[in-house]
């Protein structure tokens, strides 16, 4: 339970990635999707355009009325104009700030990395006894935000412990918002966070975080319980998988490759929320990093949004 408490307090944005280039095993980048496309287990490699999720996993009616609103396939050699590096410094990441150089785009993928900071000499200090690192965090804060819809990313997470890779959403609160009402202020939506193989239980989580002014924090979610059903004998670091949230005025439904993993009607946001992709090494994770596994990397094929 201590591990769950620690990761829930990490401020969102899990991160990580595949630790090798392994071009031979890498899937072919996906073409730009058409408005009729919806998230499927195979989305990014064809998929089932008649169903929003894997065949039989959910009713076809779930996708009725949804159309593609936005997508980034990362087809260039640099981040597109919708993304920017987020240089957010958190108290629990004092030894690992975000850095522009830790995000690269090539071959139809964006890769986020954690590396040791070469500019910090000595690297190990009294304040950072386990070393100083550079992290990756990008967001669509100032360009793309959405209220309600199906939001998905196709990700291959990192294998090693020492950082958490994440696909998450943060809000743009309304002016004059009621600070006790999630509908007015928005919430943190952690669509998926992965803490590396063997971190604790499934190592993979989904959360909703909301702290009403003057009240106890609302935190709904936790570890993915049906890992075998979702991944079989694989792990999130073995291959690319589609992580999604369906956000309506009534609830959130989280899915992996179309299989539902969690739903909640707590703290439903009613304001625009933007995307964040990150690979972050919080201070409590850094002791698990060893030089032989660096850089830690998380690879993302695409991010897509569907709305009614």
Tell me: the pLDDT tens digits for 42-73?
A: 433 433 333 444 433 344 445 677 888 999 99
Q: What is the pLDDT of residues 218-270, one digit of tens each?
A: 999 999 998 888 899 999 999 999 999 999 999 999 999 988 999 999 999 99
| Residue 99 φ/ψ, nearest 5 degrees | -145, 135
User: At 74, is the pLDDT very low, low, confident or very high (cuts 50, 70, 90)?
Assistant: very high
Find tokens 């909301």 and name the residue.
210
Q: What is the pLDDT of residue 92?
A: 85
| CA count, 13 A, side-chain hemisphere, 78 | 5
CA-nearest of 264, 223, 190 to 11 is 190
Structure tokens at 299: 């690879």
The alpha-carbon radius of gyration of the chain (Å, integer) is: 18
The answer to whether residues 263 and 178 touch, using CB atoms and an 8 Å cutoff, is: no
Q: Which residue has the higher pLDDT, 230 or 167?
A: 167
b/e map 213-235, b = 16+ CB within 10 Å? eeeeeebbbebbeebeebbeeeb
Neighbouring C-beta atoms of residue 90, cutoff 10 Å:
17
Q: What is the pLDDT of residue 129?
A: 94
Q: What is the pLDDT of residue 302?
A: 94
How many degrees, rounded to 5, is the angle at CA 234 between CA 228 and CA 235? Answer: 95
Q: What is the pLDDT of residue 4?
A: 43
Q: What is the pLDDT of residues 5-50, one digit of tens each?
A: 344 334 454 333 333 333 333 333 333 333 333 444 443 343 333 3
Q: Which residue has the higher pLDDT, 98 or 200?
A: 98
Domains belonging to the chain, first-starting first, are: 2-307 (2.60.120.200)
Residue 140 has pLDDT above 60, yes or no: yes
Q: What is the pLDDT of residues 92-102, one digit of tens each?
A: 899 999 999 99
Structure tokens at 20: 């090798």
Residue 281 CA, chain-centre distance (Å), reads 14
Q: What is the pLDDT of residue 205?
A: 94
| Residue 25 φ/ψ, nearest 5 degrees | -95, -5
Q: What is the pLDDT of residue 28?
A: 39
Biggest alpha carbon–alpha carbon distance for the chain: 58
């Amino acid at each position: 339970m201590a591990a769950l408490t620690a990761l829930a307090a990490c401020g969102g944005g899990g991160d990580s990635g595949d630790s090798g280039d392994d071009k031979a095993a890498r899937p072919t980048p996906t073409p730009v999707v058409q408005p009729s496309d919806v998230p499927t287990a195979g989305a990014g490699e064809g998929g089932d355009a008649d169903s929003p999720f894997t065949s039989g996993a959910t009713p076809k009616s779930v996708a009725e009325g949804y159309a593609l609103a936005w997508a980034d396939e990362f087809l260039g050699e640099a981040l597109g104009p919708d993304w920017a590096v987020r240089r957010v410094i958190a108290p629990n990441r004092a030894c690992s700030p975000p850095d522009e150089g830790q995000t690269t785009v090539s071959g139809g993928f964006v890769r986020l990395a954690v590396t040791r900071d070469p500019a910090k000499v000595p690297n190990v200090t009294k304040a950072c006894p386990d070393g100083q690192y550079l992290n990756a965090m990008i967001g669509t804060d100032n360009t793309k935000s959405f209220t309600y819809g199906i939001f998905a990313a196709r990700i291959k997470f990192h294998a090693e412990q020492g950082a958490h890779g994440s696909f998450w959403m943060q809000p743009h609160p309304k002016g004059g918002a009621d600070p006790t009402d999630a509908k007015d202020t928005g919430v943190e939506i952690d669509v998926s966070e992965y803490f590396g193989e063997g971190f604790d239980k499934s190592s993979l989580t989904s959360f909703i975080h909301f702290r009403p002014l003057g009240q106890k924090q609302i935190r709904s979610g936790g570890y993915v319980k049906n890992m075998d059903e979702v991944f079989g004998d694989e792990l999130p670091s073995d291959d690319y998988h589609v992580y999604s949230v369906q956000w309506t005025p009534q609830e959130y439904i989280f899915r992996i490759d179309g299989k539902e993993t969690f739903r909640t009607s707590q703290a439903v946001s009613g304001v625009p929320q933007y995307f964040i992709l990150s690979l972050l090494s919080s201070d409590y994770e850094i002791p698990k990093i060893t030089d032989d596994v660096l850089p830690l990397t998380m690879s993302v094929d695409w991010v897509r949004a569907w709305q009614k």
